[in-house]
């Protein structure tokens, strides 16, 4: 998502508290295309990410971010974030 009129930047989008199945369903509904997803334990995700060459520190940050919404981004920017559902729907229109 770019700075197009009427669209928010993806920098203020925060995933709602949702598991991977709900995330896949949201993206699938917005895109109109079936999307499959498999939940992985954090250590398995880190192993997979580092196995593709990602630095371990970054892999751990991404695995931690996959655990859910801490509310940190809303507090940081001083307003509610855009839900993933709303951002995906707007981006795929």
Q: Which CATH architecture has domain 10-91?
A: Alpha-Beta Complex (3.90)
Q: Is the pLDDT confidence value at 69 over 80?
A: no
Alpha helices (runs of H) in 1-93, residue ranges in sequence order: 20-31, 42-51, 56-65, 72-77, 84-91
- Report the alpha-carbon distance of residue 60 to residue 47 in Å, rounded: 9
**Regarding predicted confidence, which is higher, 39 or 4?**
39
Q: Is the pLDDT of residue 54 over 90?
A: yes
Which of 35, 26, 37 minimizes the C-alpha distance to 89? 26
Q: How does residue 46 score in pLDDT terms, banded at 50, 70 and 90?
A: very high
Q: Is the pTM of this model over 0.85?
A: no
Residue 12 or 42, more confident = 42
């Amino acid at each position: 998502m770019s700075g197009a009129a009427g669209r928010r930047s993806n920098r203020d989008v925060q995933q709602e508290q949702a598991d991977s199945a709900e995330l896949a369903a949201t993206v699938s509904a917005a895109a109109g295309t079936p999307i499959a997803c498999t939940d992985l334990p954090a250590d398995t995700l880190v192993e997979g990410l580092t196995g593709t060459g990602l630095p371990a520190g970054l892999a751990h940050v991404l695995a931690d971010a996959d655990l859910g919404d801490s509310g940190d981004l809303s507090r940081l920017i001083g307003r509610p974030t855009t839900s993933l559902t709303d951002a995906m729907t707007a981006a795929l229109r």
